[in-house]
Amino acid sequence: MVKNNWTIRLVSVITLFTCFSCHPAGNRLNVDTSNVDIQAVKIYRYEQKLFDIPSDNLISELQKIQADYSVFLNGDLSDSLNLLPLINYIEDTVLQNVNRDCQRVFTDLDKLETEFTDALRHHKYYYPEAELPAIYTYISGFDYEHPTQIMENNLLIALDMYLGADYFRYKQLGLPAYMLHRFDEQFIVRDCMKELAKTTINYRNIGAALLDLMVNEGKIIWYTNAMMPTVNDSILLNYSAYQMEWAKNSEGAIWAFLLENEMLYTKDNEPIKKFIYESPFTSYFGAESPPRLGWFIGWKIVSVYMQNNQDVDLQALMNDYDAQKILQHSGYKPGL
């Protein structure tokens, strides 16, 4: 049974922990990438090319751009079965208006291209043999579950999912209010780096216990931070400033709750859902708490592990699926 009166019960476990200040990334992420040579990132705007095509010359114009945008246009364009869905997409008046909104918000992508160049330079630093992805933008039709995707080493960015928390169509669609803050330009590079992180993980090797899932999410966040070493923690964790502060101030209490209720090795769906899945908050700790506190604790475990094990590089971390070993070798002991 879960012991819900956690703020009172923590008094009984306070002596279990050593109080100290844990800086999540530490100096391990302050690497010198000045000698890493990559081409400046160019983002290819499929939505501009597509919606600018005149309807009376569709097939020939599509054929002109097919080679450059084959990730989207990989079929036989002379086949009406392939062409009809594309025509319906282009002629959808809602999508046409959404595209106009995207062009207004994203008049140019210079800032994003600079940020991507820096992030991918870090990726090349850690993975020198890696082929860097090409990056494209498009209109997804509000695919909020997949705002960024990787297909055949192409990063795809759904611009319609980054129009700002106040964009009126999000509310019209009934998207959950607690999600809206992340539909903003400042999350684009972070979301893409998370997708890159996931490509380094063999998900069949991840255990089913809560600790396994927490550490895996912590690895993804640490990887993302390695690609973006100056990113704000609240962006990294997808928290508001208040939620980030709450999590940091409550770290010891969260860890104590997990230990006291013997949750680290559980495979039960309820605690996994509450600590790992998206939600407005983590219900064990009340409506003021942030969601996905398992991600936060997993990130802290991995951060301390990497700080205390300087011989472990990023590739070794991402290839290590022994969450128990990572926890043990981290020396993780959050203060109260």
**Can you tell me the distance from the alpha carbon of 325 to that of 71, in angstroms, rounded to the nearest whole number?**
40
Which backbone phi and psi does 155 adopt, to 5 degrees? -90, 125
Q: Which tokens sit at 288?
A: 């003021």
Do 52 and 189 reside in the same domain of the chain?
A: yes
What pairs with residue 190 in β-bridges? none
**What backbone torsions phi and psi does residue 44 show, to the nearest 5 degrees?**
-95, 125
What domain count does the chain have?
Answer: 2
Mean pLDDT of the chain: 91
What single-letter DSSP state applies at residue 57?
Answer: G
Q: How confident is the model at residue 13 (pLDDT cuts 50, 70, 90)?
A: very low
- Max distance between CA atoms of the chain, in angstroms, equals 75
Percentage of the residues of the chain whose pLDDT score is greater than 70: 92
Asked if residue 47 and residue 12 are part of one domain, the reply reads: no
Q: Could you tell me if 224 and 265 lie in one domain?
A: yes
Are 293 and 321 in the same domain? yes
Q: What is the DSSP string of 194-247?
A: HHHHHHT--GGGS-SSHHHHHHHHHHHHHHHHHHSTT--HHHHHT--HHHHHHH
Cα separation, 267 vs 190, whole angstroms? 29
Contact 254, 293 (CB under 8 A): yes
Two tokens, residue 195: 């997708």
Give the residue carrying structure tokens 């700080």.
307
Q: Which domain holds residue 278?
A: 6-30+202-330
**Predicted confidence band at 252 (pLDDT cuts at 50, 70, 90)?**
very high
Which residue, of 199, 215, 246, is where some domain finishes? 199
CB 241 within 8 A of CB 32: no
Do the domain assignments include residue 217?
yes
176 and 253 together in one domain: no
Choose between 312 and 20: higher pLDDT: 312
199, 234, 250 - which closes a domain? 199
Q: Does 186 share its domain with 59?
A: yes
Question: How confident is the model over 166-204, as pLDDT tens digits?
Answer: 999 999 999 999 999 999 999 999 999 999 999 999 999
- Looking at residue 78, its pLDDT comes to 82
* Structure confidence at residue 1 (pLDDT): 53
Predicted confidence band at 55 (pLDDT cuts at 50, 70, 90)?
confident
Q: Which of 144, 165, 199 is the last residue of a domain?
A: 199
> Is 251 part of a structural domain of the chain?
yes
| pLDDT band at 3; cut points 50, 70, 90 | low
Strand partners, 137: 45, 157
Residues with Cβ < 8 Å from 223, sequence gap 6 or more? 193, 196, 197, 200, 314, 317, 318
CA-to-CA distance for 47 and 102, rounded, in angstroms? 9
Question: Tens digits of per-residue pLDDT, 196-222?
Answer: 999 999 999 999 999 999 999 999 999
Q: CB under 8 Å, gap of 24 or more: what pairs does 47-56 form?
A: 47/99, 47/102, 47/137, 47/138, 47/139, 47/159, 48/103, 50/90, 50/138, 51/90, 51/96, 51/99, 51/139, 53/90, 55/90, 55/91
Asked if 315 and 195 sit in the same domain, the reply is: no
Residues 243-258, mean pLDDT to the nearest whole number:
97
Mean pLDDT value of segment 260-271: 97
Query: Residue 228 has what pLDDT?
Result: 98
DSSP β-bridge partners for residue 150: 155
Question: Per the domain annotation, does 81 fall within a domain?
Answer: yes
Q: 324 and 276 in one domain?
A: yes
In a domain, 336, yes or no: no
**Same domain as 21, residue 61:** no
Size (the chain), residues: 336
Q: 69, 27, 264: which is closest to 156 by C-alpha?
A: 69
194 and 209 share one domain: no
The answer on pLDDT for 35 being more than 90 is: yes
The tokens 């600790």 sit on which residue?
A: 211
Contact 214, 298 (CB under 8 A): yes
